[in-house]
Chain A
């Protein structure tokens, strides 16, 4: 096996895994019960899927076209940094606007902290 054949296997593996992860994340959004678990599926699996697909494209252009695309590297970095923060912000907005958790959830640590803050706030005024 020469280098081109090995790379084509790696590229196809990366792109296939990326698309499968995106598909899994779509199933997660459909099947999971509430906002928080859905965002768990949407941010993690979809981010890794997009990163895999972009890495496959980067490797393809690098080996077969001889073109090192800095934009793809920047895109990988950008998605890696921003997608979890977007998920965090959406979840936080949902929690602060009192979207209920799934009825079978057993633990809610943030509630104690937030209500304590509310008490202190009322005590100060």
Chain B
């Protein structure tokens, strides 16, 4: 029996856009509102899992050729590197700072180095979640 997934796949195309955009929003909102690297990463991972559910693993591997184990490693490296980077300015490990900058579209924006640490958390959460789910999914 041929399975016709056209409704699921069409809706997934639209909905995964919403989920991934909202996860990026949550990631950037984390400083002053509910959100942050962990929940943003989980939401990105859930959007990716929805794509993996609607299409098969081989198609997704050709569309997103990312090794999620390496993504987790990059995330850990970013988190540690922001900690070590504070030694360059002769301050204790994991000291963070912030500055106000004028960006072209956004106007006056608070840029904090915590964001880089959060990016590390974000990558690690995506990497670990997707590695767990894909390892279970590929088991024969």
Contact = CB atoms under 8 A, between A and B. Distances in A.
Given A114-B1, A117-B1, A121-B1, A89 B18 contact: no
B1 A81 contact: no
* Main SS at interface, chain A: helix
A10 interface: no
A82 interface: yes
Contacts of B11: 81-82, 85
A103 B103 CA distance: 66
* Main SS at interface, chain B: helix
A104 to B, nearest CB: 27
Nearest to A82: B15
Given A74-B22, A117-B2, A118-B1, A85 B14 contact: no
Given A81-B11, A89-B8, A74 B1 contact: no
Nearest to A78: B18
B99 to A, nearest CB: 28
B63 interface: no
A87 B7 CA distance: 12
B18 A74 contact: yes
Contacts of B2: 117, 121
Given A81-B15, A114-B1, 5 more contacts: A71-B22, A78-B18, A82-B15, A117-B1, A121-B2
